């Protein structure tokens, strides 16, 4: 299907002051208090040194949100392996991080390297001049960026790279093995979305509060699986792929009643993972975070395992294929402050963070690194204790967002119009028309 993609000019939306080293939060909110000590940004790479062992080392100041123990493990491993560089990491609470980062970049704080948890923040900081263009460094290093998938190329600004990915996301199809075993039905494997819908309808039974559903797709889900898998998005002139997804959800929620209806989910406030682990549904399409959510529930209540065993399959596809695609790809980045005087040392560190050795620590924590190969897949599978990890890690990944400032607003509009359709407040045709008209106002 040939698509016409709306041409958009990427504009920096960071607000006043985000020009060549100053800015405001990507997510809004009040600025966090500065709890670090300011120092001059005009220091040379040899100005700070670690004299342990009689050898001077360049000190890199690295900032991130409180992401997990694996981040400190990665930094410690780098420090132990590098002959020339020592990294000092400061972690800020997740809620405060974006505002804190903008405050740091706007002042004279000594910040050399920092993390970014969205492509929009990466885009905005590249546009504002806060990030170093690392394209030539990548070329000179001989780094194989193909390991990050095709989505990494989409992070370019004016054909230049401004950050390296170290974490990724991926969607899969999760299912309860014990329920399938009890039913005598084969586990879901390489399904199309039509096959998924048929299977969910076949498995559903009972009525009212006692009904067991074939699947569960939460009301907060804003990912139009089929739309993205067919190469479309919310900014596409052609809405046929978006229509395909709306019609499938209407079938699941309302026609087949194989999934709890949108209205019932909203009114009941049902927690999807609890619903899934409690044996109220057989299948649960979702992102990789669903794995840790399930494992947390099993840890908190071991009795759940009496009737639940997690299985992982490839997310359903629009049509039969030997080359499945899923939603996800590179999602979290690390970049160099353009004002840093320690560019070479900083690149040594960020290339490590985006490489295989660091990826092992991420995978061992049950998270998905940007660097994925067979070794990393094995580490991830061992960490989560569930076979089938390759089913979520191996497929090609397509980002569910575009690097345009308006895309978050388009997601909100689409969800609002789709919801009105799914609860019966408007027709399919009216919903798509309203979305198209509201989108035009935003894009113009």
Extract the tokens encoding 140: 């000179």
Give pLDDT tens digits along the chain (444 positions): 433 333 333 333 333 333 333 333 333 333 333 333 333 333 344 444 444 444 689 999 999 999 878 999 999 999 999 999 999 999 999 999 999 999 999 987 799 999 998 888 898 899 999 999 999 999 999 999 999 988 898 899 889 999 999 999 999 999 999 999 999 999 999 999 999 999 999 999 999 889 999 999 999 998 999 999 999 999 999 999 999 999 999 999 999 999 999 999 999 999 999 999 999 999 999 999 999 899 999 999 999 999 999 999 999 999 999 999 999 989 899 999 999 999 999 999 999 999 999 999 999 999 999 999 999 999 999 999 998 988 999 999 998 888 777 888 999 999 999 999 999 999 999 999 999 999 999 998
- Alpha-helix residue ranges (DSSP H) falling in 230-323: 240-250, 262-268, 272-277, 289-300
Residue 365 neighbours by CB under 8 Å, 6+ apart: 68, 69, 70, 383
Dist CA 332 CA 121 (whole Å): 10
Q: Phi and psi at residue 63, in whole multiples of 5°?
A: -120, 140
Dist CA 13 CA 30 (whole Å): 17
Extract the tokens encoding 223: 């990912």
Kindly list the distances between the CA atom of residue 182 and the CA atoms of 154, 174, 178, 186, 203, in Å, as whole numbers in the listed order.
45, 17, 6, 10, 11
Q: In 3-state terms, what secondary structure has residue 432?
A: helix
Contacts 24+ apart (CB under 8 A), 247-254: 247/428, 248/193, 248/197, 249/217, 249/418, 249/422, 250/421, 250/422, 250/428, 251/197, 252/197, 252/200, 252/215, 252/217, 253/422, 254/422, 254/424
Domains 52-169+328-392 and 171-324+402-443 belong to one CATH topology: yes
Query: Taking the C-alpha atoms of 350, 369, 133 and 396 in order, what is their torsion angle to the nearest 10 degrees?
Result: 160
CATH classification for the domain delimited by 171-324+402-443, as one of 1.10.287.110, 3.30.70.1350, 3.40.190.10, 3.40.630.10: 3.40.190.10
* Domain boundaries defined on the chain: 52-169+328-392, 171-324+402-443
Ramachandran region, residue 153 (left: φ > 0; alpha: ψ -120 to 50; beta: rest): alpha
pTM of the model: 0.80
Q: What class has domain 52-169+328-392?
A: alpha beta
Q: In 3-state terms, what secondary structure has residue 196?
A: helix
């Amino acid at each position: 299907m040939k698509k016409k993609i709306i041409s958009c000019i990427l504009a920096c939306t960071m607000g006043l002051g985000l020009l060549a080293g100053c800015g405001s939060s990507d997510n809004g909110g009040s600025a966090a208090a500065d709890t670090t000590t300011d120092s001059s940004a005009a220091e040379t790479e040899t100005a700070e040194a670690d004299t342990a062992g009689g050898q001077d080392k360049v000190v890199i100041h690295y900032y991130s949100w409180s992401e997990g123990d694996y981040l400190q493990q990665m930094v410690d491993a780098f420090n132990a392996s590098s002959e020339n560089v020592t990294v000092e990491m400061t972690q800020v609470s997740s809620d405060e991080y974006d505002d804190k980062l903008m405050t740091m970049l706007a002042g004279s704080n000594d910040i050399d390297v920092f993390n970014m948890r969205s492509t929009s923040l990466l885009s905005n900081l590249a546009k504002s001049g806060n990030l170093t263009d690392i394209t030539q460094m990548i070329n000179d290093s001989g780094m194989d960026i193909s390991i990050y998938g095709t989505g990494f190329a989409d992070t370019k600004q004016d054909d230049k790279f401004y950050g390296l990915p170290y974490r990724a996301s991926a969607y899969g199809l999760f299912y309860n093995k014990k329920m399938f075993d009890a039913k005598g039905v084969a586990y879901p494997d390489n399904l199309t979305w039509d096959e998924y819908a048929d299977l969910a309808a076949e498995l559903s039974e009972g009525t009212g509060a006692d009904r067991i559903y074939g699947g569960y797709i939460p009301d907060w889900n804003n990912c139009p699986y089929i739309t993205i898998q067919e190469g479309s998005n919310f900014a596409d002139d052609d809405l046929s792929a978006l229509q395909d997804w709306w019609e499938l959800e209407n079938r699941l929620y309302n026609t087949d009643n194989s999934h709890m209806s949108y209205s019932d989910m909203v009114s009941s406030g049902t927690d999807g993972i609890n619903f899934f682990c409690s044996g109220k549904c057989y299948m649960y399409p979702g992102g990789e975070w669903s794995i840790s959510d399930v494992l947390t529930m099993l840890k908190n209540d071991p009795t759940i395992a009496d009737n639940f065993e997690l299985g992982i399959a490839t997310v359903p596809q629009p049509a039969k294929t030997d080359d499945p695609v899923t939603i996800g790809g590179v999602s979290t980045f690390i970049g160099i402050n353009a004002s840093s005087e320690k560019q070479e040392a900083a690149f040594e560190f960020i290339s490590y963070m985006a490489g295989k050795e660091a990826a092992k620590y991420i995978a061992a924590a049950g998270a998905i690194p940007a660097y994925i190969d067979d070794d990393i897949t094995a580490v991830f599978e061992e960490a989560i204790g569930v076979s089938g990890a390759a089913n979520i890690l191996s497929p090609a990944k397509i980002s569910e967002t575009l690097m345009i400032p308006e895309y978050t607003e388009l997601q909100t509009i689409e969800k609002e119009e789709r919801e009105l359709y799914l609860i019966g407040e408007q027709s399919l045709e009216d919903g798509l028309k309203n979305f198209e008209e509201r989108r035009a106002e935003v894009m113009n």
